[in-house]
Amino acid sequence: MLKSTITPLRWEAGALVLLDQRRLPAVEEFIRCTTYEAVVEAIGSMVVRGAPAIGIAGAYGVVLAARAAFASDPKRWREALPPALAALRAARPTAVNLAWAVDRMASFIAAQNTDPMADLLGEATRIHAEDLAANHRMGELGAAFIAPLSRLMTHCNAGALATAGYGTALGVVRSAHAAGRVLEVFATETRPWLQGARLTAWELHRDGVPVRLITDGSAAHVMREHGVSWVIVGADRVAANGDVANKIGTYGLALAARAHGARFMVVAPCSTIDLATASGRDIPIEERPGDEVLSLSGARHAALGVSALNPVFDVTPADLIDVLVTERGALPRPDVRSLAELLAKPPT
């Protein structure tokens, strides 16, 4: 198994320590968060990003909020927590892992009758460890679909940086590469934050996986001319019918894959599946400031007076997805029934 050398977040000396992904690949800088407000800010400003990673960060944010509340009033600390939990949940709206992790921590708090600080940190640590184990399992399951000498394509960053440290989509890529099945990977640059250029290409190159960076607009051409076998992406939310919300541009890649004979794989832990959301039409799509589109690295490149629309996710319909890989199994053509049956299985 190919291990990643990248650790995007860790708990250290009473603080959540985050690798600042805004500054990669030029600078590897870590930020210490000692309050839940700092965690909310870090999630919102994309210091930490990727659905599983922000879920883990949210869990540690609850620990920080509870610690502060307990220090202020050891007898009534639970009553002070709802605003902090709400702020953490709302830090980014599309990725369901964040709300899932905060809600899991809230349920754990409700079940405690004694000083919960050590136990609460233990629960956050379990969420962290479970994600890493799930990543490795998904890597194995997804790699089984990849034939030798395959050319793959991925979008945005669903790697070690977006998770506990191995990756969902890139976990499959890493595992397939370790098995000798990957000829090369095409990584889309992923405007406007360039997660593919700054993060995915950096990750894969650092871990010895052959990667070539492409512009977003060249993806269909590359699929046709270079024989891409699989497009492999992560997900921020999977609706009950199998529709998937992921980084803007994913939907277009799925359409291009179908047109050019490439298969389309989504890799996401079960915490990303939201049976309470019936379809992709019900998923809230985050829109970020237009300045992210109008500027690059702080320098404006669009004419003054021009405005921008900046949705940062789109929805890929389930009928364009060849397989959804989770830690509990791989689902060809996911739908309402197969997703419900998957979540009914006990975790392995």
DSSP character string of 269-282: -GGGEETTS-SGGG
* Of 131, 236, 243, 322, catalytic: 236
Q: Which helix (H) or strand (E) holds 173?
A: helix 169-178
Under the phi-then-psi rule, with left for phi > 0, alpha for psi from -120 to 50, and beta for the rest, what region is 305? left
DSSP class of residue 189 equals -
**CB neighbourhood size of 27 (10 A):** 8
d(C-alpha 240, C-alpha 275), whole Å: 4
**CB neighbourhood size of 32 (10 A):** 12
Joined tokens for residue 221? 């051409």
Q: Is 236 a catalytic residue?
A: yes
d(C-alpha 19, C-alpha 155), whole Å: 21
Which amino acid belongs to residue 200?
T
d(C-alpha 348, C-alpha 346), whole Å: 6
Diameter of the chain by CA atoms? Answer: 66
Q: Nearest-CA neighbor of 55 among 123, 156, 141?
A: 123
CA 300 to centroid of chain Cα atoms: 28
Residues with active-site annotation: 236
